[in-house]
Amino acid sequence: MARNMSKTVFTIGLLVMLMSVPAFGAINKSVSVGAGEESDGASSVNGSVTVGKSAIVNGKVSTVNGSIRIGDGARVELVKTTNGSLRLADKVAADELRTTNGKIQVGTGASIRGNVGTTNGSIRLDEGCTVGGDLSNVNGDIKLEGSEVAGDVSTTNGDVELMQTVLKRDLVVRKPGGWSMSRRKPRIVIGPESRIEGDLVLEREVRLFISDTAEVGAVRGVMSLEDATRFSGRKP
């Protein structure tokens, strides 16, 4: 009787453990969804996650310690890691991109419906990308090429470069404080044919360069439009 009870308890425990692991989930190994496949999720703890070309993931793509790569034309929802980079190829559709310690790189023609954010890492969007929410970091450069962001773009200590890019709201350079205190002035370049439909909000001093062909709303905070260096050509 006791032996049968022990077997029953073990079986129930095993089932509960298996049910708690997400689809295509792993702990200490990498996970991949093949090209053209469809999955309800792809996750790891200490491993990388790869989603193949034209794959569809109807759930979270995540890891804790590892990078995530999304192939051409794939469709995913939340893409999230803590310690690792996010790299999306061309024409990817995603709901949100989020990491803490790692860079975010997005290929041409990608569409992100929500926010794009990292704490310590650079962000780069290639030509034709759209972001439906905010784009932000604390430490790391932001480079947007031929892209459009519907929300705010913000950083604290990073350089920002906009090339033929449209921001529907504000570009914010936050005042550093606490552990993020830095005396270095970020370099902000509003490149040719870029447009900021909101304001350029400068909570700290920066090195500000604005192209003769760029459009910028009000410049407010600790600096004004008169503090900007105007330039012609592609870069100052």
Q: Name residues whose C-beta falls within 8 Å of residue 80's C-beta, 6 or more positions apart in sequence.
A: 60, 61, 62, 68, 96, 97, 98, 99
Span 78-104, pLDDT tens digits: 999 999 999 999 999 999 999 999 999
pTM, to two decimals = 0.88
In the chain, the amino acid numbered 56 is: I
Position with higher pLDDT, 151 vs 10: 151
CA distance 189 to 53: 34
CA distance 44 to 6: 31
At 200, is the pLDDT very low, low, confident or very high (cuts 50, 70, 90)?
very high
C-alpha distances in Å from residue 218, one per residue of 110, 128, 166, 211: 30, 26, 15, 15
Span 181-191, pLDDT tens digits: 567 999 999 99
C-alpha distances in Å from residue 208, one per residue of 54, 134, 152, 178, 228: 41, 22, 18, 24, 5
Cβ(57)–Cβ(51) below 8 Å: yes
DSSP string, 151-188: S-EEESS--EEEES-EESS-EEEPPP-GGG---SPPEE
Q: Name residues whose C-beta falls within 8 Å of residue 169's C-beta, 6 or more positions apart in sequence.
A: 149, 150, 151, 152, 197, 198
Cβ(99)–Cβ(85) below 8 Å: yes
Share of the chain above pLDDT 90, in %: 84
Count other Cβ atoms within 10 Å, centred on residue 168: 16
Span 4-22, pLDDT tens digits: 444 443 333 333 333 333 4
Closest alpha carbon to 161 in 131, 130, 182, 140: 140
